[in-house]
Amino acid sequence: MKTEDEGEYLKGTLEKDNLDQIENIYNELNTKQDKFCNTFNIHCKKNCGECCKHFYPDVTRLEALYVAYGLIKDNKVDLALSLFDEFEKEGKFDHCPFYNDEVHCSIYTIRPLICRLFNAAASTDKLNKPVFRSCKYNDSKYCRNNDDFKVHQEDVITMEEFGEMVQSIDTSSNLPEDFIPAVRKAIAKLQFIIDLKKQSE
């Protein structure tokens, strides 16, 4: 097989199967999230990226694998690794390495689950009822700080539901991991498989 798309070499592997499953979950989340946000008029402030300036995510192994796969497919591995090197050298783990003022999230389409859910999904309260907890940086309607509201409907999406869906795919590990080492590890793993496949051609 000769291909420009390195990701093609993963076809038929367990990792690709896991990646397809997580993509299906993210697609389902997108659809339900649009409905949820439209129904309750939830939206981020225009041109805001404040959360990413104050947040360094933890991810599960599979969320990191999805980020790594996207970086490989887009030929952005070297860019990401040098970004990580600079970030670690600076040593301030109080914001996300993928945030920049120009585009905000530089890995938007492959971002981890928490980034997809934050300020765009309900969570469950002590009575297992869905409640929307607002983003403290957003002053638009329904998103003001201390203005959480109950969303007592059977079909609203919750963070817990989607967290469990992602966790159910992975039989090896669901422990949250530090973002940068997890993505580095995932890149190394996928590249190892790709190199093996190339050698066997």
Residues of the shown chain interacting with ligand SF4 in the complex, contacts defined by CB under 6 A: 44-45, 48-52, 55, 57, 96, 98-99, 105, 107, 111-112, 115, 118-119, 135, 137-138
Rank residues 45 and 197 by Cβ distance to ligand SF4 and give the closer one: 45
DSSP characters over 56-92: --EE-HHHHHHHHHHHHHTT-HHHHHHHHHHHHHHT-
Rank residues 23 and 50 by Cβ distance to ligand SF4 and give the closer one: 50
Residue 38 DSSP SS3: helix
Rank residues 55 and 142 by Cβ distance to ligand SF4 and give the closer one: 55
According to DSSP, the β-strands at 123-124 and 177-178 are: unpaired
User: Distance between CA atoms of 30 and 63, rounded to whole angstroms?
Assistant: 16
CB 135, min distance to ligand SF4, A: 3
CB 99, min distance to ligand SF4, A: 4
Residue 54 DSSP SS3: coil
Rank residues 185 and 197 by Cβ distance to ligand SF4 and give the closer one: 185
CB 10, min distance to ligand SF4, A: 22
CB 23, min distance to ligand SF4, A: 16
DSSP characters over 104-152: EETTGGG--HHHHHTTSSBEE-TTS-EEE---TT--STT-STT--EE--
Rank residues 48 and 194 by Cβ distance to ligand SF4 and give the closer one: 48
Rank residues 9 and 66 by Cβ distance to ligand SF4 and give the closer one: 66
CB 197, min distance to ligand SF4, A: 28
Instruction: Please report, in angstroms and rounded to a whole number, the separation of the first and last CA atoms in the chain.
Output: 7
Judge contact between 188 and 84, C-beta under 8 A.
Answer: no
CB 98, min distance to ligand SF4, A: 4
Beta strands in 27-111 (DSSP E): 58-59, 99-100, 104-105
Q: What residue type is 132 in one-letter code?
A: F
